[in-house]
Amino acid sequence: MLNLFCKIHNFQKSAFKLFSFVLFLFLLNQSFAQLFAKENWKEFLEALENRQYYEEALDYLDSISNDPNTDSQILTELPDRIAKIKQKVSNKSKESVQSPNLSYKNINALSDSTIPNETLNLESSQSDLTSLKNLDQINSFYEAVEQCNILFAALVKLNNEKDSNLSEESNSKKNEQKKNLALQLDQAIRLALTLSERPETLEAERKNNNKTVLRDSSNKSLEMQILNLRFQWAYLSLILERNEDAMILGTYIARNNADFSNVISAAEIAMQSCKNLYTEFQNDPDFSSEDRTQSFLFINDKIAEFTDFILSNWNSAQSPEKQEFIQKILLFRINIAISSNNIEIAQQFLQQLSDSSDLKAIGELRFGLALWIKWLENAQKQENDQNLSNEFENENAVTDIEKQSELLNQAKTFLDSGLHRKIELNNGFDRVDYLSSYSALILANILFLQNDFDAAWQWLNHPQIGPNTLTQESILASKGIASAQNNDSTGESNDSEANKTVVLPDFLDESFQTKTLILALRLYINGQQFDKAEETINDLESFYTSNKSELVLVYIQIGKQLEDQIRQLSQSSSKDQLTEITTTFELFLDRLSNKSDENDYMTLRWIGDTYMSFGKGLFGSLTEPSEEAQNYFIKAGRIYQKIRKKIQGDPHWAGIDNAETATVLRLSQCLCAIGRQEKALPLLIELLEQSESILELQIEAANVYQSMGRNNKENYIRAIVGEYKKENGQNLVWGWNGIIYRISRKINDQSQLTDYFYEAITNKMSCRYSYIRALNDKNEIAKQAKNAEKELLRFQQTYPDLGGINWKKKLEAQLKQFRRLQGQINPQGF
């Protein structure tokens, strides 16, 4: 029901805003049961219906019908009202169109705190659950309070029990028991709040401060009893995932009852429920774009209001518990700022964290990881802008290498500080957690990029949290071998230790270990520890024995990393470092490739892809590859030829689908890079005759014709319209036009084709531009440039978003090129 609170605060009419505010205060100070019995229930219901909040209206009516205090006259009217609202819901669902969901960054880091327990101040009553009464047997407020205290104590005890060693079935039973206890407590609190308004309760409170009426375990004023009931209600609401209720009640108690014994726990509940709501509104697919945005903004506002209040009003508190909670609030705000990509705000809150707090280390690690992600995003943007600048003379290309270097240094500084702070504050690592191990992995990657290989190894192999330490333990455990840490000084296994079950952290999954082994492989090769490097390759392949397609993606990832590193070094002044990297890698690859009888498809594929990555990295933005780059393309081509011969000799040798197609595609790219397109084309045609519909082959064939256009402009036309007539008169090679036409019929259903589609459009327009520039007649140049401009504008009308910012930049740059060919100075884009 309380979903309406988030929506109520978005109402535009001032009258309804006032109504919602009054309702908000009313619910905080009255029981829900009392609200249901009031005469204004119809007005409230109509207000919900007028705003089309039908689900909340149905929840509201359901609560009224189930409340024992609801007037019988009201009950007779409910069925008709419920039927009418359900009909409205049905009509609305038929008319509505699902709006696309907004996407937000994942903030798993927010959900790292548990339901508060240490600071709970339980009532003195700890009676056994067998002393509970049926609710209909309870006649006084004080009996109801005692019932609540018993249930609350049992719920807290059950909630605080460690369940890490429970089976899935036992854990499920425990959760069900916890839920049942919370529901019983919920009913008891509702009854207690209802009884608190009875005349006899108020009279007993008035007489002698309840000394003759209240039990010893409940010797508190009525006002304090009600406050404690609200706190219990906040606690159970959090357990029952009624996060709106928990947020409102917890916030109210924390803001207005500074001396309440459980005020810190109430604040904890408010903070945890805010975290839950924040994540819920991010991930709920049922919200329309507008609702989701408004709800998300509402929760953001509530978080800011509550946390700002705590930071302002509790900062001078002498209580160590309140100071500790302030540290949690600061870390919470850091996480929120990071998830909103507001790095500057996150750093401001980070500076306020106490150096003596464990949370400062967590904040530094999360902030360092956020800087690393920002560095990666900027690197990708710079690569895209650099490619755009090289191809289309983009005047807005971003090449701020110094800024990127500073960002990487900052990430390193915060990660290093956070890890060392954890070691100092905890005298080492008492447990292996994901944040620490993942931070060590990223820090090792940064150090590797900065050529500090010894420091990279130290973090990768840290004895407690080192990613490679954990990965090697996992590999040994999977082979049934005891780790080195379980061996005695003689090097032999200690039986008592070796027989123990190795407990590895949950986060040590295939993805984490793969990232670790990739970095270890590069470090081994860099240090010319080739035996270790081969062992690492074998470890990598062992993860993917049943899914070699995934292993191909891993090797492509390694190749892309190498290509990027070589490109950056070739563009900088680090020629000695570039030579060292390529030389050591080449020694290792040559060593592997000479073992021709031992190498399987995956090993040869990785060798070829790595040579080609070297060639691409050295090629960079040059018009023609250097001699060194050509040599790497030649080496890669020889490896691919070797692979193809093996596949032709034994179609099952590769053990992976489409291995020959993938090999021919790469061989074609190598041949084109060294200017041997005439040898690449027959290889593609041979496969296309067997299967014309392989999109990657069609794209490569069009690319080959396009690259041949530099020697003969008619090949630009062939790249666009296709070539090789079949018996039915259609072209075997589709060309960019054929590719665009075929993808356009599927692009709405298959989003993965989007990049192929816009790549084809961009390449077609590049062919048109290159062909027009090769003409000699100025009038003909202007005429054809005008036609190309019109085609781009028609395309933009059909696809207004132009595939997103990156493709739009490329297409806009092409539009300006065609306008320049018509004589325009400083032409405009779309």
What would the DSSP string read from start to end of 304-361? HHHHHHHHHHSTT---HHHHHHHHHHHHHHHHHHHHTT-HHHHHHHHHHS-TTSHHHH
* Residues 53/274, Cβ–Cβ less than 8 Å: no
The H-assigned helical ranges of 572-650 are 575-593, 601-619, 627-649
Q: Residues 425, 428, 432, 435: is their CA dihedral positive or negative?
A: positive
Q: Which of 339, 334, 335, 412 is nearest to 372 (CA)?
A: 412
Token pair 């209240």 is found at: 214
* Residues 385/396, Cβ–Cβ less than 8 Å: yes
Structure token pair of residue 580: 């060292």
Q: Cβ of 23: how many Cβ atoms within 10 Å?
A: 17
Average pLDDT over residues 509-529: 89
Structure token pair of residue 33: 């049961």
Helix axes 601-619, 627-649, angle to 10 degrees: 160
Query: In DSSP terms, which residues pair with 725 in a beta bridge?
Result: 731
pLDDT for 569 beyond 80: no
Q: Which residue has the higher pLDDT, 173 or 99?
A: 173
Residue 57 pLDDT level (bands cut at 50, 70, 90): confident
Q: Which residue has the higher pLDDT, 316 or 49?
A: 316
pLDDT of residue 517: 92
Which phi and psi angles does 198 have, rounded to 5°?
Answer: -70, 150
Which region, left, alpha or beta, applies to residue 528 given φ > 0 means left and ψ of -120 to 50 means alpha?
Answer: left
Which phi and psi angles does 284 have, rounded to 5°?
Answer: -70, 115
Q: Which of 257, 241, 233 is nearest to 309 (CA)?
A: 257
Structure token pair of residue 720: 């666009």
Residue 469 pLDDT level (bands cut at 50, 70, 90): very high
Q: Which of 123-137, 173-187, 252-266, 632-646 has the lowest mean pLDDT?
A: 123-137
Q: Residues 728, 734, 736, 742: is their CA dihedral positive or negative?
A: positive
Q: How far apart are CA 667 and CA 112, in angstroms?
A: 49
Average pLDDT over residues 47-57: 64
Q: How far apart are CA 35 and CA 14, in angstroms?
A: 23
Write out the H or E segment, with its range, that includes residue 24.
Answer: helix 14-29
* Winning range, highest mean pLDDT, from 100-114, 514-528, 595-609: 514-528
Which phi and psi angles does 632 have, rounded to 5°?
Answer: -70, -40
Its pTM surpasses 0.85: no
Q: Under DSSP, is residue 571 helix (H, G, I), strand (E, B) or coil?
A: helix
Q: How far apart are CA 528 and CA 589, in angstroms?
A: 11
Q: How far apart are CA 392 and CA 709, in angstroms?
A: 18
Residue 489 pLDDT level (bands cut at 50, 70, 90): very low
Structure token pair of residue 765: 């327009």
- DSSP class per residue in 750-768: -GGGHHHHHHHHHHHHHHH
Q: How far apart are CA 271 and CA 251, in angstroms?
A: 8
The rounded radius of gyration (Å) of the Cα atoms in the chain is 34
Structure token pair of residue 709: 């256009």
Q: How far apart are CA 348 and CA 362, in angstroms?
A: 15
Q: How far apart are CA 205 and CA 223, in angstroms?
A: 10
Q: How far apart are CA 423 and CA 419, in angstroms?
A: 6
Q: Under DSSP, is residue 733 helix (H, G, I), strand (E, B) or coil?
A: strand
Structure token pair of residue 558: 């390694």
pLDDT of residue 290: 63
pLDDT for 716 beyond 90: yes
pLDDT for 737 beyond 60: yes
Mean pLDDT (the chain) is 79
The H-assigned helical ranges of 427-500 are 434-449, 453-460, 467-478, 495-498
Average pLDDT over residues 568-576: 71
* Residues 648/629, Cβ–Cβ less than 8 Å: no
Q: Which residue has the higher pLDDT, 56 or 13?
A: 56
Helix axes 510-526, 530-543, angle to 10 degrees: 160
CA angle 759, 763, 769 (to 5 degrees): 150
Write out the H or E segment, with its range, that includes residue 656.
Answer: none
Rounded to an integer, what is the distance from CA 556 to the centroid of its chain? 22
pLDDT of residue 790: 94
Which amino acid would we find at residue 384? Answer: N
Q: Which residue has the higher pLDDT, 785 or 571?
A: 785
Which amino acid would we find at residue 160? Answer: N
Average pLDDT over residues 684-709: 93
Query: In DSSP terms, which residues pair with 493 in a beta bridge?
Result: 487
* Residues 272/116, Cβ–Cβ less than 8 Å: yes
Q: How far apart are CA 655 and CA 638, in angstroms?
A: 21
Residue 44 pLDDT level (bands cut at 50, 70, 90): low
